[in-house]
Amino acid sequence: MKSPFQQVALVGKYQATSSGVAGASTRKALETIGQFLLELGCDVALEIDTAANMGITDYTTMDVARIGETCDLCVVVGGDGTMLGIGRQLAPYGVPLIGVNQGRLGFITDIPFDNFHTTLQPMMAGQYAEDHRSLMQAKVMRDGHCVFTALAMNDVVVNRGATSGMVELRVEVDGHFVANQRADGMIIASPTGSTAYSLSAGGPLLHPSIPGWVLVPIAPHTLSNRPIVLANAAEIAIEIVAGRDASANFDMQSLASLMHGDRIVVTRSEYQVRFLHPKGWSYFDTLREKLHWNEGVA
């Protein structure tokens, strides 16, 4: 049966190369999945950096912009970091993504490579569940000017310097003062990112369907400073009041150095990432598997 996804892009593990055991494993996975897609009647292209890093020359190569303009589907082979990187870039084009997991946790790359044939075949025939995830638009404002901007799917994190003490942060929501917080930092996480750094810092899990964000202090000086869930229509601003060498991370993949008085302003992006999951997929199945819930229960 011919797939409804005629032009399919393959993207490999973030910053992987063909050298070493991990690189060889990624290359083999890409070649195996590429051949599988060809047998289904798809035209397969490899993302240009993936092809260069893996040394694969058997496929047409495309940069991200061309993938966004011409492809019906993107299959991402790797872990959640790989998906975060390509998901942000393809969101403006509306290209759906399927994640085949070669990482560790795999909350958003949820198809195990060992079983991809069985799972992917019905999906490629049009039997899938679709899941949309909102992105955050973040800006660093300095003296009224934007000096850095980035999209984030997981989180925006303000951190203290590596060798310094706490930072003092002024937090505002929709222009209303919330609190001055002394802490090691602050996390603004989406529902997608609620299973990442936010979870490690004591934040709650947010179901992907909730139009909200969670604001989580990192090791706050005052223990009454607790995580809070906010509507994602709000504008969140974090100002650097005191502390040395602070920085802002966006999905832990891009970094901005901060100065006193800088404001990190986060709003909901107009773009969403489209994930495709196997038919019958459940977020709770993912949580049980990845967080090892119910282990030891008879």
**Residues with catalytic function:** 80
What CA–CA distances, in Å, run from 238 to 139, 234, 272, 294? 11, 13, 24, 38
CB atoms within 10 A of CB 105: 15
Report the Cα 220 to chain-centroid distance in Å.
25
DSSP 274: E
**Under 8 Å between Cβ of 168 and 222:** no
CA distance 138 to 266: 4
- Which residues fall within 8 angstroms of residue 223, CB to CB, at 6 or more apart? none
Smallest Cα–Cα separation from 204: which of 111, 88, 287? Answer: 287
Q: Which amino acid is at 271?
A: Y
Cα separation, 69 vs 93, whole angstroms: 7
Planar angle of CA 20, 50, 105, nearest 5 degrees: 70
Contacts 24+ apart (CB under 8 A), 31-36: 31/56, 31/58, 33/75, 33/77, 33/100, 33/116, 33/120, 34/10, 34/58, 34/59, 36/116, 36/117, 36/120
Strand pairing report for 73-78 and 97-101: parallel
Helix axes of 20-39 and 116-124: crossing angle, nearest 10 degrees:
40
